[in-house]
Amino acid sequence: MALGQDELPVTITRLPGVFGPRDYQRRIGVLIDKLEGSDGVVKLYPTMANFHWTWGYVFNIADMLIECALDRREGNHIYNLGFEMSLSYMEIHQLVADLLGWEGEIIATEDGLEVPTPDYTQQWNSDSSKFRRDFGYTDRIPMKEAFRLTIESAKRSGSDEHD
């Protein structure tokens, strides 16, 4: 409906999986718990291991939203926000494991695992290149550093508090 009116320019933003300090969903905290609570092997169901989702660090997403809010160009715009590249859950698990110094093994297998819900066969990649091009945007916090900072925050706050 907003795009259908002509009185005001409209900008629609599509958010990624946002993570960082005080993430009430504990997106990274859950991974830390899974890795550290394992017996040295973390099993991921294959469709989940290969599931790609666009992620965004909370401070970068805030920067992107501010850019959109301050934009005074004519016309309507739709932007996907988030990091330039999406990672699979397997890659996210490995990145977190590496940053933790966790030396176990992460494997994709159906062995002993139930089919996960929701259905992870549909990829949730989104392309943020239009936003980056229109605003000349570069992430203030690069992806690896964003995960490192989030892990530090989660370790300070403990597993039963928000990351």
Q: Give pLDDT tens digits for 60-79.
A: 999 999 999 999 988 899 99
Domains of the chain by start residue, with CATH: 8-154 (3.40.50.720)
Name 13's Cβ contacts closer than 8 Å, sequence gap at least 6: 64, 65, 68, 78, 79, 80, 81
Question: What is the separation of C-alpha 106 from the centre of its chain, rounded to a whole number of angstroms?
Answer: 19
Q: Give the tokens for residue 152.
A: 């530090």
Angle at alpha carbon of residue 132, lines to 127 and 133, rounded to 5°: 105
Span 70-112, pLDDT tens digits: 999 888 999 999 999 999 999 999 999 999 999 999 999 999 8
CA pair distance 75, 6, nearest whole angstrom: 9
pTM assigned to the model: 0.90
79 - beta bridge partners? 13
